[in-house]
Structure 1
């Protein structure tokens, strides 16, 4: 555990990742000895929460994410709502700001450097023909704010790049190059890309993907 206390608030978001499924919930009430949350749900599927079991979850505020652990104390029903009673959270890990936590990961991706000197407001400005020119590559790391990929060519800073990744659904993102470093050992370039004017729903999907992979990694080392 880390020596840090979370400021709990009503409606604070909670995400539990179980078997690669993200169950969402939020704090409904804060009692003297426990916290009440809505029964975590994914689509129409509720997460089974057995009394005395221990759950790990991510709790979010506007700036940060905390990996927490609580004991399930039981269930209750208030105002026709099924609620779970949790012990006050112990913080396992304090994660960086949501969009900037960077996960090292090697996975397949596709990209295409867009013509130099062009400005793109969003993906709608990118001619459809460029989507047919996407080239295979691999990633180095990813965050909610950007991604690092391998490139055989030098792409100048501030140029735009079209990117396609699977998380696991395929998404297309407009990116801008913020750094291009030559790797002498592997004789290629590492492009640090920033997501440009990304839809916040897509960013949230990327962040959920990152936390899912973090959960998988934590299981490997238990």
Structure 2
């Protein structure tokens, strides 16, 4: 559901990138763009180019999280260097429990699905008969995941993934919303889930929190 949101100077945003989330702040708001500080993560900067499409998370306060897509319009220097992002056409509110994301590296099987074959309930008949791609799951949340593929994947392609959770396997459909290349020229794809039932989402979230507790014990 699209939301009406006012952008506020000096509030936090994060940019989703192939290796995680880069922090930034809103420095200026104009009619056609939002100016943000250079996004950073552990002292590293993103090499943003004009025309680059970004997935942005916006934190107007301590309670709410919003997500939107935007395009880099250019750079500007006032007091500090800034990135100019196009004003988004739509903004979605994110439930915090869907947003929790945990690193997990495991092998999964995926299939690229023709949109014309997708049923209204987001199922695909005989989808196991499609070409199976070997891929690596990199992180997982209740709303999406990052996956590394050995072949080129395009934006907006529909991916069905078979993910092992505990002693079970869940089948998830999602749309590719971001594509980057790692140092080995493999595709790192951000995938947003489609048609996920609450039962399946709850199963994913329980699994995520199990992983988080396990990782905390190892620290």
Please give the TM-score of this superposition, normalised by the length of structure 2: 0.52
Deviation per CA, 1:1-41, whole angstroms, max 9, x where unpaired?
Answer: xxxxxxxxxxxxxxxxxxxxxxxxxxxxxxxxxxxxxxxxx
Matches within 5 A, 1:57-206: 97-115=96-114, 120-124=119-123, 126-131=124-129, 133-168=131-166, 169-183=168-182, 185-206=183-204
Runs of 5+ unmatched residues, structure 2: 1-62, 66-94
Give the CA RMSD over aligned residues.
2.5
Give the whole-Å Cα distance in 2 for the aligned partners of 1:156 and 1:204.
29
Look up the SS of the partner of 1:107 in the other structure. Answer: strand
Give the whole-Å Cα distance in 2 for the aligned partners of 1:219 and 1:107.
20
Give the whole-Å Cα distance in 2 for the aligned partners of 1:119 and 1:174.
10
Q: CA deviation at 1:133?
A: 3.0
Give the whole-Å Cα distance in 1 for the aligned partners of 2:120 and 2:188.
25
Give the whole-Å Cα distance in 2 for the aligned partners of 1:210 and 1:163.
17
Deviation per CA, 1:178-220, whole angstroms, max 9, x where unpaired?
Answer: 111122x122001111110101110000000000011111111
Q: 2:207 maps to which residue? A: 209
Look up the SS of the partner of 2:105 in the other structure. Answer: coil
Aligned residues: 127
Give the whole-Å Cα distance in 2 for the aligned partners of 1:151 and 1:175.
15
Please give the TM-score of this superposition, normalised by the length of structure 1: 0.52
Q: Are the structure 2 counterparts of residues 153 and 118 from structure 1 closer, same or farther at C-alpha, using a change threshold of 3 Å?
A: farther
